[in-house]
Amino acid sequence: MARFIFITGGVVSSLGKGLASAALGALLQSRGFSVRLRKLDPYLNVDPGTMSPFEHGEVYVTDDGAETDLDLGHYERFTGVAARRTDSVSSGRIYSNVLEKERRGDYLGKTIQVIPHVTNEIKDFIRIGEDEVDFMLCEIGGTVGDIEGLPFFEAIRQFAQDKPRGECIFMHLTLLPYLRASGELKTKPTQHSVKELRAIGIAPDVLVCRSEVEIPEKEREKIALFCNVRKEAVIAAPDLRSIYEAPLAYHREGLDQAVLDAFRISPAPRPDLSRWEDVMDRLEHTDGEVRVAIVGKYTQLEDAYKSIAEALTHGGMANRVRVKAEWIDAEIFEREDPSPWLENFDAILVPGGFGERGTEGKIRAAQWAREHKIPYLGICLGMQMAVIEAARNVAGLRDAGSEEFDHEAGKKRFTPVVYHLKEWIQGSHKVERRPEDDKGGTMRLGAYPAKLKPGSKVAEIYGTTEIEERHRHRYEVDMSYRDKLESVGLIFSGMSPDGKLPEIVEWKDHPWFIGVQFHPELKSRPFEPHPLFRDFIRAAKETSRLV
Ligand code: GLN
């Protein structure tokens, strides 16, 4: 039976609750416990799949095909535990389940209310798989006091009440603002935030306080006294050089000990932190730097490509180089010659994306990488653009394009080298889609196997010919152009097991040019960098040594 840790936040948003949860998960693992992390989000979208990356950051896809919050990416990167559909829920999903049950007649005769119907639905969700792990960590999105968060706070309060004493604890993250003029750390916002939490029946056991300076002993005592937590359970969360320092930093501050004390687990198993010490060693002791240009659309918000940025860092760690990633708006290359921009980089990455805007610029970036023999990694849309580039500029199909852009524009302008996929095989059954289907959750989503061509570059990089990677796309490269493209040197080196869907392309006569229909970045971990990112950065390192 799992013990539950509920993680909430107060004072301001973006305090790094997801990171603190992920780091705590890693620390509990380092003491030999098994963990699972969950995110409960108060917004009304059923899932973040239809939200703009500008607003919500990246959509993180799980093996079982759920489109989830990017915090699940942190959880996976820190614990290595593959997230599932049941590790992420929103108010929208909860309400939609409740309303579906109401229509079905499951509550016949009853008036449906937030308490108990919505809160019960939330509690049932939290309980899923509770027998499987030692600790279940549930992070509540947003901050205490938000109107839409209330049902979640009420549900976790009830949940702890339903369980025997000592099986649930509450950890609350707050901010201690530092007033530079007077040189003081202010504790009042934290006191108010805890007061707010206690007003809805939740008393935190552990307080994690973000502050830019160290918390003096006197202030720690004051927080403990006014917030009714033990002094040792007031944990400082200082600003970090790298997010991967979080497990070691939180351990130094006593977070895992405070949590185990709150559960009265004594004596606590000793932690083995060697994994995180190695990660930090690789980050801090590097030999040189490589520069990677990310040519994309959602360049204003770094979180839009969170997993790619992290996977590049992991690739750097594997090669002991610093990776300097720079985001370039693809639309620039529709007006300007890419050379002056791209000459300064050792490798080019074109990430995934939706819609036509910026795609001509991405095609030019792919062309530039091919012609200048600079390492290129195309992910999802980045692979599709590389294939269109090959079709147009090498195979002579001048009007090659993607059906996605014709659909968007409402008219036919291109030869659809990339077409709308309408049926495919998932496991043992056939999935079918129509163009008019809902936009939410209807893509080819989640983990699919692929077979790699023996002797290809990717087979060498992966060290195997059978892989499984996560997908999130609606369109696909049309295999009727395969012979034409292969005759000019673009190899289809990865295919779905039935041989119908192309998963990977690579240029034969190029030092490193690979396009993948899936998202390798989602499976990269700091302690286990993804093979494609590891080798991409190795190739970039080689380019950097040439010039
Ligand atoms: N828009 C493209 C498709 O739906 C690519 C998606 C992506 O890059 N994730 O196929």
Give the DSSP H or E segment for 140: strand 135-140
Q: What is the CA radius of gyration of the chain?
A: 25
Task: List, by residue number, the catalytic residues.
Answer: 380, 519, 521
Task: Give the model's pLDDT for residue 544.
Answer: 82
- Closest atom of ligand 1 to 382 CA is 8
- Atom 1 of ligand 1, residue of closest alpha carbon: 354
Largest distance between two CA atoms of the chain: 76
The confidence score (pLDDT) of residue 388 equals 97
* Distance from the alpha carbon of residue 424 to the mean position of ligand 1, in angstroms: 16
Q: Which of 382, 406, 415 is nearest to 484 (CA)?
A: 415
Residue closest to 269 by CA, chosen among 278, 259, 279: 259
Most ligand 1 atoms within 8 A of CB, residue of 307, 308, 354, 503 to mutate:
354
Cα–Cα separations (whole angstroms), residue 513 to 368, 374, 413 = 11, 8, 28
Ligand 1 geometric centre to CA of 501 (Å): 14
The whole-number pLDDT of residue 69 equals 87
Nearest CA to ligand 1 atom 3: 473
Residues in the chain with pLDDT < 70?
Answer: 53, 298-301, 438-441, 547
pLDDT in tens, 150-179: 999 999 999 999 999 999 999 999 999 999
pLDDT of 257 reads: 97
pLDDT (0 to 100) of residue 176 = 94
Q: What is the pLDDT of residue 300?
A: 65
pLDDT at 545: 77
511 alpha carbon to ligand 1 midpoint, in Å?
A: 26
Nearest to 100 by CA among 115, 114, 112: 112
Ligand 1 atom nearest the C-alpha of 353 is 8
Beta bridge partner(s), residue 418: 402, 477
Kindly tell me the burial class for residue 195, based on how many C-beta atoms sit within 10 Å of its own C-beta (0-12, 13-18, 19 or more): middle
Domains and CATH numbers, the chain: 286-546 (3.40.50.880)
Q: Output the residue whose Cα is nearest ligand 1's atom 7.
A: 352
Q: Return d(Cα 150, Cα 131) in angstroms, integer.
A: 27
Q: Give the distance from CA 497 to its chain's centroid.
A: 27
- Could you tell me the distance, in angstroms and rounded to a whole number, from the CA of residue 439 to the centre of ligand 1? 13
Ligand 1 atom closest to Cα of residue 354: 1
DSSP notation for 420-482? E--EEEETTEEEE--TTS-STT-SEEEEEEEEEPTTSHHHHHHTSSEEEEEEEESEEE-GGGH
Q: How far apart are CA 123 and CA 356, in angstroms?
A: 42
**pTM of the predicted structure, to 2 decimals:** 0.93
Burial of 415 from C-beta contacts in 10 A (0-12 / 13-18 / 19+): middle
Do 284 and 318 contact (CB within 8 A), yes or no? Answer: no
Tell me which DSSP letter residue 117 carries. Answer: I
